[in-house]
Structure 1
Amino acid sequence: MSERHPLRSEPGHVEVLAYGADSVDPAAQAQSVSQFVYLGRQPILDRDGALNAYELLFRSGAHNYAEVSDDAQATAQVVARTIGGIGVPAVLGPHRGFVNIDRALLFNDIVHLMPPERFVLEILETVTFDAQLVRRLTELRRAGFQVALDDVSELSKELIAVLPYADIVKIDFLQTGRAALPRLASIVRGHGKTLIAEKVETRDDFMLARELGFDLFQGYFFARPQVLAAPRNRSPRPALLRLLALLSRDAGIVELEAELKLNPSMVVQLLRLVNSSAFGLGRNIASLREAIIATGTRQITRWAQLLLYADGDLPWRADPLVQLAGTRSRFMELAASWLRPADDDFADAAFMTGIFSLVHVVLGSTPAAVLDKLGLAPQIREAIVSRSGPLGTLLRIAEAAGEGADAASIAAGPDVPAGFAALTPEVLAELNLSAAAWFGAHIEEAAA
């Protein structure tokens, strides 16, 4: 984490509102906190002074300093605000974003909401490395992520041991003794790692870092963090959960129509989806009741489940959470149909398991706490919470396939139900492609 102490930002031009602390009225700020989401970003420059990336920082308001009581929660907010609240194009432009991440979040699904080509995982200095973490970092790097080690200030046995599992090393110029810098930088470069000089506050620091061969630079000498803000999205997710509860107990058309009418924005989204050729109706639907009757509750359920993950300010096709939920659930449905071709109920349950395996990320809770309120079938709940049963095995396979890991070894494992060995690497590759194609075709048409 590159921040040293609370300092004010200099305002700059971005696509969304940007604040300098001198312009903030405390009373107005308090009123606006509930209306806006905030995010800090600090430039990371290359040797020629050109912008290379940003470090993304938690901000609770327009004031330009962090008030962090929980590292995991702060990172989750940064990711959510970058992807859903403000938007990746407005925050990062064509550049990458460095995100501070602790041990708990490294093992959390929120990591996979970040496109690996756009985000760098910056491992906090408080994280302890062990065999389990090394395996996880290997998986994440195989999936395309770059890993940065944060706040390095000394050459230690621990640093040497973890260098093989990182791509970038950020050396803290405030904490590192000047006499130790040359050897530290030389050894890290000798391991083929990108070197970032962070907390560079003077021209002398910058010139020394350049002389020592550092690749990138960050600090108050170049620019202090800037606060970005955008209007807070008012999500219809509670309404969608109520709708899904009605659908799960086979509520009648009158009840469904009444619930939908309470949420005009959801009706607009649903009618747009219904009128798309994804439903194959061949005609436009003009009324809510006609839409319900024409499409059937099964299709409405599926689209409502996907809407649960969609952010109103992002196109569906570009929303990583929708993409992850949609492709995972479709993959599980296709795999279930491959295993049991005549069992539509199993395929439907597999789709729902995939969808609801991520709902805790949306609601900022735990899987058990969220699922207990939804009244899902026990086999779906247990599949998500404990990865048990055939659906739990399918979920583990889908997660591995989505991360580029060896899903076939899970399908062929000794502890899986009979028949899963039919999911060979060739079959899984085909299912992955089919799920991605389904998502691309259906979502793009629905968003048109």
Structure 2
Amino acid sequence: MTQSTVITTFLPVFNQQQQLLALCPDFAALDQDAVIAALQHWKQLELFEQLPTLNWMVHVRDLSLLPTDLHQRLPANKIMLCIPEQVCQDQELQTRLKHFARSGFRIYTDDFQSVSDLAWSDTRDIVIDSQAGVPFSAKLWMLRLPQGQHWAKNVGTAAVLEQAVMTGFKLFSGDYAFHPAKNNSAADSSAKTRLLKLLGLVARDADSKELEDLFKQDANLSYLLFRLVSSAAFAQTVKVSNFGQAINLLGRRQLQRWLQLLLYAKQSDQGGALNPLMARAAFRAAMMEALAQRMGFNRDMSDGAFMVGMFSLLDTLFTSPLAEVLQPLSLQEDYVAALLQRSGPLGRCLQLTEMADRHYQATLRGMLTELALSDDDYLLSVTHAFAWVNQVCKDM
């Protein structure tokens, strides 16, 4: 496999329902030629085809250096060019902006800060940096550009997310999933406790009757189980008539994976939106599995890698120390060490995975070298992970 010359991280972009809609590669300080070369390499790897429903938000620093035949090199209908507002103000460059728009690229006015007039008369979609909260002027622009798919980036907390939703933004990215509101109810805690018990039963290969009894204690959990076995992902033609049949149709391995995911699946108070933490946990699980397979791990180790990724955010979910949350699960010592100390091969894979969907860190390449993974191993693992996140968001 050909080595690429560029390594990036990928920031997920979600809609109001917290379904994955786009990816924003963080190219850090790379020059524009290197960015275009990377995108062309991804096209050769068929990354765009492997994620057919997702868009790609690409930040452009120097519009004057963007080749006019870019639409012939890259899938223009998949790429959103994010152009800084101050660049859009340059009248000499607005002809180029119109050219790229006519070529099929959607143009986002990035780092938007206008308080009165538009920097570019053809502005349709804006991007606002929400690191310091949503600016007061944003509400005005939501009213003036009501058809836009406006994006709030660097949303750091659940409170800022709520503010951005109420303002009228349609797209969201940032670390808000890792900083949820502190409003877990006793009922939520009870449901999560039942899920942990179910995971423990599956792990020790308990009798189906024990699993059925726990499912029957939670109407929401029962509903999710039956909806899962009826989903397009399983394409079941058999009508499911009881808990035992549903469990058998899934199989123990798949049941275990989906129980892990269901820990995060409680819908939020934001109009029935998914829990933002679910997609991030799903990414970690699928990324860990893909890395394990590329490192030559056997099936059991790959399953363990998936579980380590999924459980790595349980402390955030339960707002309790991870060691306490893991205690009832009786996990293997190497899994516990990977989760608590980031030690061993799985721990190192987890460190890499934790970087992959956040802002770029220079230590990423060193991690790949340490794990003997090529750049393409990494890119294809990321693609596999986001494909699974995309499917999970649809099924849940």
**Structure 1 pair 363/267, CA: closer, same or farther in 2 (3 Å)?**
same
Cα offset for 1:353? 0.3
**Structure 1 pair 345/291, CA: closer, same or farther in 2 (3 Å)?**
same
Residue 43 of structure 1 contacts residue 51 of structure 1 at CA under 8 Å; is this kept in 2? no
Residue 274 of structure 1 contacts residue 291 of structure 1 at CA under 8 Å; is this kept in 2? yes
Please say which structure displays the higher CA radius of gyration. Answer: 1
Residue 279 of structure 2 contacts residue 393 of structure 2 at CA under 8 Å; is this kept in 1? no
Aligned with 1:248 (options 195, 203, 224): 203
Secondary structure in structure 1 of the residue aligned to 2:264: coil
Residue 360 of structure 1 contacts residue 370 of structure 1 at CA under 8 Å; is this kept in 2? yes
Residue 331 of structure 1 contacts residue 398 of structure 1 at CA under 8 Å; is this kept in 2? yes
Residues in 2 aligned to 1:231 and 1:384: alpha-carbon distance in whole angstroms: 23
Residue 317 of structure 1 contacts residue 440 of structure 1 at CA under 8 Å; is this kept in 2? no
**Structure 1 pair 324/254, CA: closer, same or farther in 2 (3 Å)?**
same
**Structure 1 pair 316/250, CA: closer, same or farther in 2 (3 Å)?**
farther
* Residue type at the aligned position of 2:356: A
In the alignment, what sits opposite 1:71?
none
* Residue type at the aligned position of 1:338: R
- Gaps of at least 5 residues in structure 2 are 1-132, 143-155
Cα offset for 1:81? 6.8
* Residue type at the aligned position of 2:385: A
Residue 323 of structure 2 contacts residue 340 of structure 2 at CA under 8 Å; is this kept in 1? yes
Aligned with 2:295 (options 339, 355, 360): 339
Q: Does 1:266 align with 2:221?
A: yes
Aligned with 1:320 (options 252, 276, 280): 276
After TM superposition, the score normalised by the length of structure 1 is 0.49
Residue 397 of structure 1 contacts residue 408 of structure 1 at CA under 8 Å; is this kept in 2? no
After TM superposition, the score normalised by the length of structure 2 is 0.55
Cα offset for 1:237? 1.2
Residue 317 of structure 1 contacts residue 443 of structure 1 at CA under 8 Å; is this kept in 2? no
Aligned with 1:409 (options 360, 366, 383): 366
* Residue type at the aligned position of 2:366: S
Residue 408 of structure 1 contacts residue 428 of structure 1 at CA under 8 Å; is this kept in 2? no
Cα displacement string for residues 8-36 of structure 1 (whole angstroms, at most 9, x for unaligned residues): xxxxxxxxxxxxxxxxxxxxxxxxxxxxx
1 or 2 for the larger relative contact order (CA 8 Å, sep ≥6)? 2
Residues in 2 aligned to 1:333 and 1:315: alpha-carbon distance in whole angstroms: 32
Residues in 2 aligned to 1:409 and 1:316: alpha-carbon distance in whole angstroms: 41
Residue 386 of structure 1 contacts residue 392 of structure 1 at CA under 8 Å; is this kept in 2? yes
Identity within the alignment, % = 29
Cα offset for 1:434? 1.4
In the alignment, what sits opposite 2:388?
438
**Structure 1 pair 112/80, CA: closer, same or farther in 2 (3 Å)?**
closer
Alignment of 1:127-276 (within 5 A): 234-235=187-188, 236-276=191-231
Residues in 2 aligned to 1:312 and 1:380: alpha-carbon distance in whole angstroms: 29
Residue 408 of structure 1 contacts residue 424 of structure 1 at CA under 8 Å; is this kept in 2? no
- Gaps of at least 5 residues in structure 1 are 1-41, 53-77, 98-109, 120-227, 414-419
Cα offset for 1:369? 2.1
Q: Does 1:94 align with 2:169?
A: yes
Q: How many residues align?
A: 246
* Residue type at the aligned position of 1:113: A
Cα offset for 1:366? 1.5
Residue 305 of structure 1 contacts residue 355 of structure 1 at CA under 8 Å; is this kept in 2? yes
Residue 267 of structure 2 contacts residue 274 of structure 2 at CA under 8 Å; is this kept in 1? no
Secondary structure in structure 2 of the residue aligned to 1:270: helix
